[in-house]
Amino acid sequence: MSTDAVELSFQRASVHLVHDVKRLEDGEDLNDALLDFFVKLGQALIPNRKDSGGIVGFNEGLSPVAYLGSYFYGMLQKGHTSDGRQGHANVANWAKRRLGKGGLFAEQVGALAVPVNELLRDYMGRQQEKHWWLALLVNPRAPCPNDGPLQEAVSVSCLDSFARTGMRYKPPRRALKVEKDSRNEAYFVEVSSFSRSGFVALIAFRAQGDGSLGPLLDPRLSRLQFGHRVIKEPELDLKVRNYGDHGVPGVLEGTLEFAFDSSTRICGEYTLHYAGVGEYKPALKLELRREPNQSQLQVSKLLGGYCGKEFELSESAVSYSDAQVAEALQLADTPQQESAHDCGFFILEQVLRLLQLSPTALRSLASKSTEDIASLPWPSQREVVKRKKKLREITADLFVASRRQNTSDVEVLLKNDELLRKKLLLAMWEGPYFARAVANVIAMDPGPMPEVPILPKEEDTKKEEEESDESSSRSSSPARSSSSGSSSSHKKRKHRDRGDSHGAKRPRTTEPTAPGAAEPRHHGHSGTRHARPPPPPSFTKDDLQGYPSKTLRNLCVQYKVLPPGMVERTDLLKALEPLAVVKNATPASASARAGAERLGNGTFTRSDLPSFTNVELETMPISKLKMYCIQYGRLPSGSLEKSDLKKALAPLAKVAQPPPASSVPKKVLPSFTLEELQTMPISKLKNHCLQYGRMPHGPVERTDLVNLLKPFATGARSTLTTAPATLPGAVPAPASTAASTAPAAKPEGDGFSLEELKTMSMKMLKTFCLRHKVMPHGPVEKCDLQKALEPFAR
């Protein structure tokens, strides 16, 4: 009798169908339950040698990579302890319970993997968000005394997918503008700092010119070169924005943000071509190095103290060198994540690759340099995305098997089902390629390597038939229904069996035929009908941005523009953009609905799907946005932000009807006298300024607020007692008052006298200068501002 399984367990690690499995979706963070669950499955199944039994069953003995759980480091430093020997009391039995007494220093163990959950801070010291990275203690038994002639090496590698480092240049790096093969000293750019945060590079700069060569060049034309890679089109954030002009000096100060891909290393020498190649010389050389931060130093110190205490408890007569571990810190340059959600998946992928190594190979890595460790094929963003998809699929298979066999114990499921065990192994392991790379680095013969298991032929054939049926249903017209589809599938299966009987095994094709390639001939099937040509495209470029990647791929297959090889979302968009219709030819919302209806299951959208307006879309919570995207089949792939979901649903939103004018309540503006203004608190003054639409920008003083409100006080001139015309919902002024308006160059609400001009503060003078568009260029004094405003005084 089967039951609805909601939880899976394996060696005391469990995952819940509702609370945990959703964390495998794109845009979600991997939680500790899933991390512990899949690491333990990897320890049990991933083989590290030819005869390890990982293909036919479970690995025996201790895993080469010890893992004490995702909570281990948090418990070790509980109470903000800075000594690993003191923190050992918090986790005293963890290693003994999982590895046995002294198991951490056994011959079968080559490394200890410790996930570290760190609270990131910005450069101002403010807390931001939590981030996972992996501390790998390689050869933990090395600080133990040995009888050999040489002391073994130990290392603590920080494998961080969001590494942060930066350098400040004193004096700043400087380049001059080139004009007719000479450099102009009056136009220069200076770079004061350079930093990397994950895959993003930030450059702080200041550009200046005296106006002799015209305005300053656009910093967004800059290029940053690192090795053979050139990054263009940076994001620009300016604190000082004054491009200047001919005869007018200019100053630009801010940051340039360059986005690298996941595999770009961090440390090395970069070259900045400011405002384009050859515009400023010399090209600025910006070197970047990594230094351990306080958190990384603390991790190595705590792990050294913990191992020392653990070793002395198992071998009471022998001492352990804690300092050797604390001083063995390495900052390996590994690929960086390109989203804010994948740090946990990077840790999991790193551990799964390390499980391919034998204990001897792991211990050999302890003596290698940081550059050697960085040269290994660590996971990139693309590989992490692939791993998430495989884990989602195998987790669904495990829950199905759990319901079928009426047990939540994954170990029992795998022992009873060899096919499920092989599928789970293939979801976590693609072969010993990482072990081969390590063997090249340590110059060691890897010996016989384990082979990748092959699924049974029946399962392979079934999978190919499903892919063939899915492809034919996408390319055929609605007139060819399920009966013709099953007939076509039967003919293809019959033709494949006939071809196999000749002894020639036809290779599987998982990608559609590339555009322009010859169509395959089907001999012996003269009655086979060709698929009808696809209907004319009816999607726009805006619609393409909102489609999920799966829909984009289906469109590429349908219109035979699928790029060959491995493709990303940007490749699919680029291939479909030439087919997009002109936006004004078909309304975007109608086109999007039509596309969604056609690309679903060949039926039109159901009438019970939710409807919403563009106003409701702006205030909708992200959970509701996701639900609507799933129901309409428009959930974008990859990491999702609220703006992505709103953009995907925007073509489907109805235009909200504006409320009737009579329903809008009119504002009653406050009234006050000149005497009340003098005693009014500053908070109330600000409130009145906001209601009358006269609140100035920036910091203000009390006298500024009083002067702004004087024209509206009871007893002031009648032409100034009305609310400004731009104030929405205000009570309209009498016709006689509204008619007496001043010229546009001198608004009545901004009126002031020469006496008031002399007593105004510097901030208020600048506000009026900006409002009247008479702000002088360059540094100014109070008398300059007063002189500029004199023509506007009453």
Residue 410 has pLDDT above 90, yes or no: yes
Tokens 């609310």 — which residue? 723
**Residues near 266 by Cβ (< 8 Å), separated by ≥ 6?**
163, 165, 196, 288, 290, 333, 336
Q: How many residues does the chain have?
A: 794
When pLDDT is cut at 50, 70 and 90, the band that residue 717 belongs to is very low
What's the whole-number mean pLDDT along residues 754-762?
83
Phi, psi angle pair for 404, to nearest 5°: -70, -40
Q: Burial level of 135, CB count in 10 A (0-12/13-18/19+)?
A: buried
Which stretch of 129-133, 296-300, 540-544, 739-743 has the lowest confidence by average pLDDT?
Answer: 739-743
Measured N-to-C along each axis, helices 782-789 and 762-771 cross at an angle, to the nearest 10 degrees, of 40
Torsion of CA 750, 756, 762, 765, to 10 degrees: 30
User: What's the confidence (pLDDT) of residue 79?
Assistant: 83
Residue 197 and residue 194: Cα distance in Å, rounded?
10
Cβ–Cβ contacts within 10 Å for residue 46, how many? 24
- Contact at 8 Å (CB) between 654 and 612? yes
Identify the helix (H) or strand (E) that includes residue 371: helix 370-374
When pLDDT is cut at 50, 70 and 90, the band that residue 579 belongs to is confident
Residue 588 has pLDDT above 60, yes or no: no
User: What's the confidence (pLDDT) of residue 606?
Assistant: 46
Could you write out the three-class secondary structure of 551-600?
HHHHHHHHCCCCCCCCCCHHHHHHHHHHHCCCCCCCCHHHHHHHHHHHCC
What's the whole-number mean pLDDT along residues 192-208?
93
Residue 55 and residue 48: Cα distance in Å, rounded?
11
Fold of 164-288: Immunoglobulin-like (2.60.40)
Token digits of residue 217: 């060049």
User: What's the confidence (pLDDT) of residue 209?
Assistant: 94
User: What's the confidence (pLDDT) of residue 452?
Assistant: 86
pTM: 0.59
Tokens 């804010």 — which residue? 340
Residue 634 has pLDDT above 50, yes or no: yes
When pLDDT is cut at 50, 70 and 90, the band that residue 351 belongs to is very high
Residue 10 has pLDDT above 90, yes or no: yes
Token digits of residue 182: 């000479």
What's the whole-number mean pLDDT along residues 417-441?
92
Token digits of residue 387: 């791993």
Per DSSP bridges, beta strands 111-121 and 65-67 are parallel
User: What's the confidence (pLDDT) of residue 468?
Assistant: 61
In CATH terms, are 29-163+294-437 and 164-288 the same topology?
A: no
User: What's the confidence (pLDDT) of residue 119?
Assistant: 82
Give CA angle at 770 (764, 775), nearest 5°.
Answer: 100
User: What's the confidence (pLDDT) of residue 463?
Assistant: 61
User: What's the confidence (pLDDT) of residue 716?
Assistant: 53
Tokens 């680029």 — which residue? 574
Residue 526 has pLDDT above 60, yes or no: no
Per DSSP bridges, beta strands 284-288 and 268-273 are antiparallel
Q: Burial level of 591, CB count in 10 A (0-12/13-18/19+)?
A: buried
User: What's the confidence (pLDDT) of residue 640?
Assistant: 64
Q: What is the mean pLDDT of the chain?
A: 79
Which residues in 459-491 are b (16+ Cβ under 10 Å) and which e?
Answer: eeeeebeeebbeebbbbbeeebeeeeeeebbee
Residue 411 and residue 58: Cα distance in Å, rounded?
9
According to CATH, the superfamily of the domain at 29-163+294-437 is Adenoviral Proteinase; Chain A (3.40.395.10)
Residue 75 and residue 9: Cα distance in Å, rounded?
23
Name the range with the highest mean pLDDT among 305-319, 347-361, 691-705, 754-768: 347-361
User: What's the confidence (pLDDT) of residue 562?
Assistant: 86
User: What's the confidence (pLDDT) of residue 778?
Assistant: 67
**pLDDT, greater one: 729 or 264:** 264
Residue 341 has pLDDT above 90, yes or no: no
Residue 475 has pLDDT above 50, yes or no: no
Closest by CA position to 359, among listed 438, 294, 280, 469 = 438
Which residues in 305-325 are b (16+ Cβ under 10 Å) and which e?
Answer: bbbbbbbeeeeeeeebbbebb
Residue 230 pairs in a beta bridge with 225
**pLDDT, greater one: 662 or 195:** 195
Tokens 């209806």 — which residue? 597
When pLDDT is cut at 50, 70 and 90, the band that residue 645 belongs to is confident
Give CA angle at 442 (436, 448), nearest 5°.
Answer: 40
Name the range with the highest mean pLDDT among 169-183, 536-550, 630-644: 169-183
Could you write out the three-class secondary structure of 389-433?
HHHHHHHHHHHHHHHHHCCCEHHHHHHHCHHHHHHHHHHHCCCCH
User: What's the confidence (pLDDT) of residue 83?
Assistant: 86
When pLDDT is cut at 50, 70 and 90, the band that residue 13 belongs to is very high
Give CA angle at 102 (297, 65), nearest 5°.
Answer: 60
Residue boundaries of the structural domains of the chain: 29-163+294-437, 164-288, 541-652, 674-792
What's the whole-number mean pLDDT along residues 47-68?
75
Q: Quick one: what percent of the chain has pLDDT higher than 70?
A: 76
Token digits of residue 553: 């791929």
Coil/strand/helix, residue 117: strand
